[in-house]
Structure 1
Amino acid sequence: MKKTLLIKIAFVFLIMPSFIRAQTPAAPVTTDAESTVKYPQFQFKGLFQARYLQALEDGVDVMGVQHSTGDVVQSSFDIKRMRVGLNTKLSEATEVVILVNLADFKSDPKGKVLENAYAKYTFSKYFAVTGGQFRPGFGIEELVPVDIIKSFDFSNQYYEFGKNGWTSFQIGASVTGALDIGKIPFSYAVSMLNGNGKDQEKDKDNGKQYATRLVFTLSKEHKINLGLNGGVGVVFKQDVFALGADITSDFKLTDKFTFDLQIEYKQGTNHNLYFSLPTDARTPNVSDYQMRGVYFLPNLRYLVDYKKLTSLEVSCRYERFDPSYKIDSNVRQTYTPMVSLEFGKAYTGRIEMGFEIDRYDKNIPDTSMYNDNLFIIQFQCRL
């Protein structure tokens, strides 16, 4: 208990200097145009994603589960996401964000549907406070909406770290800001989280998870950013951790060709796996169960700008992920080659086609840990 209290006190002292600095910003210059701005302001957003799935491996269904006996569903249409969101500006500094995914009603909606539900107050560019349910800063994918990523979906490690409370939608509070260190632009995010996922009535225990992300812009011209992530916490009185590093770049090769690259590495305690096992089937130490993964996502974009077709993109993500590399290791390698056609600006319309190819070190019958090849056509509209 004393250790947890000390961590919470340290969190408060960490944000206090920025808070004090944010309370005394330079007086903003207000123009006549700005003085006529009326609040609240509302912005509605939406996303629709539908897919056709075709499993190509005998005995493996469209969800990637292998079946030793019986018929297998190997082709299906699916509504992946039907999101509706509302961003409300209550003042120049205050905003409230709501985002729901109505496609979650197709199965048990408990613990689903509501995604973003938070308020943010911006004192200055150096310091802002967010509270509620949001995606805490802990990697590249936290900063990118799923509708503009360069692949069909987020990585395997993103979802696994989400189950462990570091990524995806979490309930808690966060401070963020940006400044310059010499000539290097720098941004930060420090979060205090329940760590048990979205839409939960309360925390699962008295422990909290503390996540930090630091981003350094090494080159503005080529948009080269270096990100460092670290986190510690307590789950059911057990110490847990997570760490990671990532780099992004965007090179303009010609007037029409651009090439961007994402590389990300993460490692951390897989306490979600540990506490899901029977007591007699696990070791006494949660630290024996650690996950780690890395992925590379190169993407080549060609500006077409012909009638309604805006661009053509080709990408292929390679990911290597192991949910427990110390005990019962079973590495999953995933290849996701994809071709994307963009219609309109900022992916207003998008048609994607490609494959998701999984290879495991050990195939486990009648589970999703089994080699599979999945063909995907995905259509999306966003507003």
Structure 2
Amino acid sequence: MNAQVDVNQATAEAEEAVKYPQFQFKGLFQARYLSSFGDNVDVMGVHHATGEEVTRSSFDIKRMRVGLNTKLSKETEVVILVNLADFKSDPKTKVLENAYAKYTFSKYLALTGGQFRPAFGIEELVPVDIIKSFDFSNQYYEFGKNGWTSFQIGASATGSVDVGKLPVSYAVSVLNGNGKNQEKDKDNGKQYSTRWVFGLSKAYKINLGLNGGIGKVFKKDVFALGADITSDFKLTDKLTFDLQMEYKQGTNHNLYFSLPVETRTSDVADYQMRGYYIMPNLRYTVNYGKLSSLEFSCRYESFDPSYKIAPNVRQTCIPMISLEFGKAYLGRIEMGLEIDRFDKSIPNTSTYNDELFLIQLQLRL
């Protein structure tokens, strides 16, 4: 009994000895070389029917992020993240990405408020610098335009609990739903979403995620839902295989309200988006010199921004080879193709068949 008291007292004294605030600086640099193989399609994926000279190859700085995580106490942290590369275009509603405070009561409950990425799928919980492809999926960005994913302003409750032997984590969020760096909500409606993740297998890291959301946008009812599964198999001591699969569907109210009133139907539910992607990834540990590993991934995605009215499915295939230097993706060199195929290509738009070659250098600071 006395020994347990001594241990508890020592732990309490050790916690009191920790000095606050604590600061952790982070950064990310991503630079790319792009080359378009499409017929009269530039490096941004836009088709030019007139046949004038278009930019077919270019160097680009995709991200130059600088972040600061501040621990004010054991329970309280403040996170700031900016992307300085957004200054290359109109920075309005850009640049500032994360700006939130989080208070952790226990593993069962933590509250977050500010601007952050709400949990609504696999990609929302993974930083872009450690995903297995060049960038997030098409559906991630489209659902972001509709207020469910990407950086949003609002509040969230998260936590985890064991139901018997089944580990479960959850997130419940309430959001403005009109993107980052907005002066105010666009209307009086809010969007409510939740995510639940069930750990089905610890040995193979198989997790099942379920997502759902409802809300009002300009007094119109909107919804979103999704399901996803991840797994990670160790084939040999040096070779691992992981797999991601995700499906999402929801109201595309962003498209609906962007159309002239006379050209759209009266029911926002007529405009729905849906899509899925599958991304297998093979990782071979090298540990030769500064080279840590070789990876090969190939994400296949099918996405339709309006499958009920004027459907036009976009199929995207992205095979990619990655060389990792250092630990935890400290440095990466990635090379691959982004192949886009539409049911109907539309001239003079980015909705056009294209093949884009990419080489990307990534450094984590």
Which TM-score bucket, shorter chain as reference? over 0.9
- In 2: Cα distance, 1:372 partner to 1:173 partner: 39
Q: CA deviation at 1:28?
A: 10
What secondary structure is seen at the aligned counterpart in 1 of 2:124?
helix
Aligned to 2:41: 60
1:285 corresponds, among 267, 270, 293, to 267
In the superposition, the TM-score normalised over structure 2's length comes to: 0.97
Question: Deviation string for 1:298-353 (max 9, x for gaps)?
Answer: 00000000000000000000000000000000000000000000000000000000
- In 2: Cα distance, 1:238 partner to 1:180 partner: 38
Structure 1 residue 39 and structure 2 residue 23: aligned? Answer: no
Q: CA deviation at 1:246?
A: 0.1
Aligned to 1:15: none
Q: CA deviation at 1:57?
A: 1.1
User: How do 1:1-383 and structure 2 match up within 5 A?
Assistant: 30-69=11-50, 70-383=52-365
Q: CA deviation at 1:236?
A: 0.2
Q: CA deviation at 1:30?
A: 3.1
- In 1: Cα distance, 2:341 partner to 2:243 partner: 23
- In 2: Cα distance, 1:48 partner to 1:318 partner: 26
What secondary structure is seen at the aligned counterpart in 2 of 1:30?
helix
Question: Deviation string for 1:78-103 (max 9, x for gaps)?
Answer: 00000000000000000000000000
Distance 1:243 1:28, change over 3 A: farther
Question: Deviation string for 1:166-189 (max 9, x for gaps)?
Answer: 000000000000010110000000
Q: What letter matches 1:259 in structure 2?
A: F
What secondary structure is seen at the aligned counterpart in 1 of 2:144?
helix
Q: What letter matches 1:305 in structure 2?
A: N
Question: Deviation string for 1:82-129 (max 9, x for gaps)?
Answer: 000000000000000000000000000000000000000000100000
In the superposition, the TM-score normalised over structure 1's length comes to: 0.92
Question: Deviation string for 1:257-307 (max 9, x for gaps)?
Answer: 000000000000000000000000100000000000000000000000000
What secondary structure is seen at the aligned counterpart in 2 of 1:351?
strand
Distance 1:29 1:239, change over 3 A: farther
What secondary structure is seen at the aligned counterpart in 1 of 2:204?
coil
Percent identity of paired positions between Structure 1 and Structure 2: 80
Q: What letter matches 1:61 in structure 2?
A: D
What secondary structure is seen at the aligned counterpart in 1 of 2:11?
coil
Q: Following superposition, which runs of at least 4 residues in structure 1 exceed 6 angstroms of deviation?
A: none
Q: What letter matches 2:36 in structure 1?
A: A
Distance 1:28 1:243, change over 3 A: farther
What secondary structure is seen at the aligned counterpart in 2 of 1:274?
helix
Q: CA deviation at 1:71?
A: 1.2
Question: Deviation string for 1:215-241 (max 9, x for gaps)?
Answer: 000011111000000000000000000
What secondary structure is seen at the aligned counterpart in 2 of 1:105?
helix
Q: Where in structure 2 are there 5+ consecutive unaligned residues?
A: 1-7
- In 2: Cα distance, 1:38 partner to 1:79 partner: 38
Q: What letter matches 1:256 in structure 2?
A: K
Q: Where in structure 1 are there 5+ consecutive unaligned residues?
A: 1-26
